[in-house]
Every structure is written in C-alpha cells, then in structure tokens.
Structure 1
C-alpha cells in the first residue's frame, strides 16, 4: 500500500512525502525548513544549466570586443553551475526509497491537512490552481496543488527571494542595455556595433521580463503566503480531500 502524504523519518530528520515522491521540504532541528533548491523534476534544471552555459561561453568569446562581457560571462557560468548542482541535488532526493515506516507528527508541523478545529474545515482555493487547508479556525501551512499536497512553511521567505530575483533580472537588463548603448556610442566598427545592438536587445528583453514578473508577483504571493483573513463563506474546493 502506498504511503500517504505525510512527514517521514529520513536519515537524521523528517522529509515530506507527497504521496508519490519526496519533496525538498523537511524538518531540521525541530523546525520546518526547505532544501537550498527543490523541484518536482531535475530535467528543467539541467536545461537551465545548459542554456546559461552556452550564454556564458558566447560572452567569453565576446570579451575580445569589450572587457565588459567578462562580467556577464562569469555571471552566466556561475548560474549554469548553480542549476547543475541543483539538478543533481533534486535527482538525489527523488531517488531516496519510498517510506515504509509510520508517519511522524510533531507540533511544529501542525495543523496537518485533515485536522479540524471548527466548523467549515476544508480545502479552499487561494488561486486558480492552488487550495489551502482551513481547519475551521485557522489556515494551515499546507496547499493542495496539481503536484500534490505541499507544506508552505518556507512560503513567506521564498516570496521575498522571488521578488529579489525578479529585481536582479530587471537590473541586469538595465545594465546590459546601458552597456550596449555606451559601446554603440563610443565605437564605430561594424562588428562592434553588431555586438552592441545585440546586447541592447538582450538587455531590453531581460528588463521587460523582470518588469512583467514584478507586476505579476501578487499572483505568486497567494499560494506561498498564508492569508491574513478567513476564507470566504463558500463551499470548500470541489472534489473534497485530495487523493493521497
């Protein structure tokens, strides 16, 4: 019989099993934490690593046209290794054998999904694809997504990091755009001008991407951060309790 979604002992701590796979959510020193990187599958992280590696290699080649590209080359290569090590970590976590022992419950991870402390307990939507467990008196730290039931003890911190990353993307785009303009104004060679225009285009794309992500950040906040108000007086999310 498959183990249901719960906290199970793995090594020296607890880790969340969502009913089909291990996640990056765990308990260390008696409190919920999250791995330094987590994902449902390592493949997207491997792809990101490859893309950033190619971008870094291209910028290393462009150092001959402008020393500025050494900075961006180092940045892209560093990101490539970050995603590579992240993919390897996620793959290692997913390869941990499925749990065979009983779930472990400690106060730090409660209230768990299914716990009722009042009338009207159930799963209530907090976004178009995510529902959160309401005990009848308070929100829990658990959401029900297409990937399964997931803890969100890390949610508030992850949202702050998300805003920071989006800000960095926007700033990097602005920096590349300005650098491209400076190179275009100060140089006259056709080859250099081509590189400058390409840099301006990349900078503009990153700047617009970062701006759009920042504008959409409230949508990311809803599934990550526990609501400050009770759910609206509606029926719980259709479908009842999720399959485990």
Structure 2
C-alpha cells in the first residue's frame, strides 16, 4: 500500500512525502525548514544549468571584444554551477526510497490537512490552481494542487526570494542593455557593433522578462503566503465552491 501524504522519518529528521514523491520540505530540530533548493523534477534545473553554461562560454569568447564580458561570463558560469548542484540535490532527494514507517505528527507541523477546529472546514481555492486547508477557525500551512498536498511553512520566505530573483533579472537586463549601448557608441568596428546589438537585445529581453514577473508577483503570492482573511462561505448551490 502506498504511503499517503504526511511527514515521515527520513535521515535525522522528518521529510514531507506528498503521496508519490519526497519533497524539499523537512523538519529539523523540531521546526519546519526547506532544502536550499527544491523542485518536482531535476530536468528543468539541468536545462537551466546547460543554458547558463553556454551563455557563460559565449561571454568568455566575447572578452576579446570588451573586458566587461568577463563579469557576465563569471556570473553566467556561477549560475550554471548553482543550477547543476541544485539538480543533483533534487535528484538525490527523489531517489530516496518511499516511506515504509508510520507518519509522524508533531505540534510544529499542525494543523494538518483534515484537522477540524470548527464548522466549515475544508479546502478553499486561493488561486485558480491552488487550494488551502481551512480548519474552521484558521488557515493551515498546507495547500493542494494537481501535484499533491504540500506544506508552505517556507512560503513567505520563498516569496521574498522570488521577488529578489525577479529584481536581479530585471537589473541584469538593464546592465546588459546599458553595456551594449556604451560599446556600440564607443566603437565603429562592425564585429563589435554586432556583439553590442546582440547584448542590447539580450538585455532588453531579460529586462522585459523581469518586469513582467514582478508585475505578476501578486499571483505568485497567493499560493505561498497564508491569507490574512477567512475564506468566503461555501455555496451549496455551486457544488461546494466559494460563494461569490
């Protein structure tokens, strides 16, 4: 029989099993923590590592045109190794054997999904794809998606990190764009101009991407951060959906 979603002993602490795989959510020293990186699959992280490695290699080649590219080359290569180590970590976690012992419950991870502390308990949507467990008196730290039930004790911190990453992407795009413009203005060499234009384009893409992600950040906040208000009452006529 497959283990249901719960906290199980793993290593020196507890780790969350979502019903089909291990996650990066753990309990260490009696409190919920999260791995330094977590993902459902390592493949996207390996792809990101490869893309940043290629970008770093290209910028190393471009150092001959401008010393500035050494800075971006080091940055891209560092990001490549970051995603590589992250992918290897995620793969290691996913390869841990499935739990065979009984779930472990401690006060630090309660209330758990299914625990009721009042009337009207249930799963309530907090976004179009995510629902959160309401105990009847308070929100829990657990959400439900098509991927399974996941704890969100890390949610507020993850959201702050997400904002920081989006800000870095935007700033990097602006930096590359400015650098490309400076190189283009200061040189009349055709090859250098080609590189400068390419740098400006890449910078513009990153700047726009970061800006769009920052604009959409409120949508990312909903599934990560516990709502500050109770859910809307259920509407029986709508089949249990929140009344509007």
The TM tier, using the shorter chain, reads over 0.9
SS in 2 for 1:16: strand
- Alpha-carbon distance in structure 1 between the residues aligned to 2:109 and 2:236: 22
SS in 2 for 1:27: strand
Q: CA distance change for structure 1 residues 98 and 200 in 2, over 3 Å: closer, same or farther?
A: same
- Aligned residues between the structures: 244
Measured after TM superposition, the shift of residue 237 of structure 1 is 13
Contact between 1:131 and 1:237, CA under 8 Å: does it hold in 2?
A: no
Contact between 1:163 and 1:214, CA under 8 Å: does it hold in 2?
A: yes
Compute the TM-score of the two structures, normalised by the length of structure 1. 0.96
1:202 aligns with 2:202: yes
Q: CA distance change for structure 1 residues 133 and 54 in 2, over 3 Å: closer, same or farther?
A: same
Contact between 1:122 and 1:236, CA under 8 Å: does it hold in 2?
A: no
Instruction: Out of 186-195 and 230-239, give the one that drifted further.
Output: 230-239
- Alpha-carbon distance in structure 2 between the residues aligned to 1:39 and 1:139: 24
Q: 1:156 maps to what in 2?
A: 156
Compute the TM-score of the two structures, normalised by the length of structure 2. 0.96
1:103 aligns with 2:103: yes
SS in 2 for 1:49: helix
Alignment of 1:30-49 (within 5 A): 30-49=30-49
Measured after TM superposition, the shift of residue 181 of structure 1 is 0.5
Q: CA distance change for structure 1 residues 93 and 127 in 2, over 3 Å: closer, same or farther?
A: same
TM superposition outliers: structure 1 runs of 4+ over 6 Å: 236-244
- Alpha-carbon distance in structure 2 between the residues aligned to 1:170 and 1:141: 31
Q: CA distance change for structure 1 residues 72 and 105 in 2, over 3 Å: closer, same or farther?
A: same
Contact between 2:235 and 2:243, CA under 8 Å: does it hold in 1?
A: no
- Alpha-carbon distance in structure 1 between the residues aligned to 2:216 and 2:114: 31
Measured after TM superposition, the shift of residue 243 of structure 1 is 24
Contact between 1:122 and 1:237, CA under 8 Å: does it hold in 2?
A: no
Instruction: Out of 117-126 and 226-235, give the one that drifted further.
Output: 226-235
Measured after TM superposition, the shift of residue 146 of structure 1 is 1.2
Contact between 2:23 and 2:40, CA under 8 Å: does it hold in 1?
A: yes
| Structure 1: tracts of 5 or more residues without a match | none
Q: CA distance change for structure 1 residues 91 and 78 in 2, over 3 Å: closer, same or farther?
A: same
Q: CA distance change for structure 1 residues 235 and 115 in 2, over 3 Å: closer, same or farther?
A: farther
SS in 1 for 2:235: coil
SS in 2 for 1:165: helix
Contact between 1:123 and 1:240, CA under 8 Å: does it hold in 2?
A: no
- Alpha-carbon distance in structure 2 between the residues aligned to 1:120 and 1:210: 40
Q: CA RMSD in A?
A: 3.1
Contact between 2:176 and 2:199, CA under 8 Å: does it hold in 1?
A: yes
Q: CA distance change for structure 1 residues 155 and 236 in 2, over 3 Å: closer, same or farther?
A: farther
SS in 2 for 1:237: helix
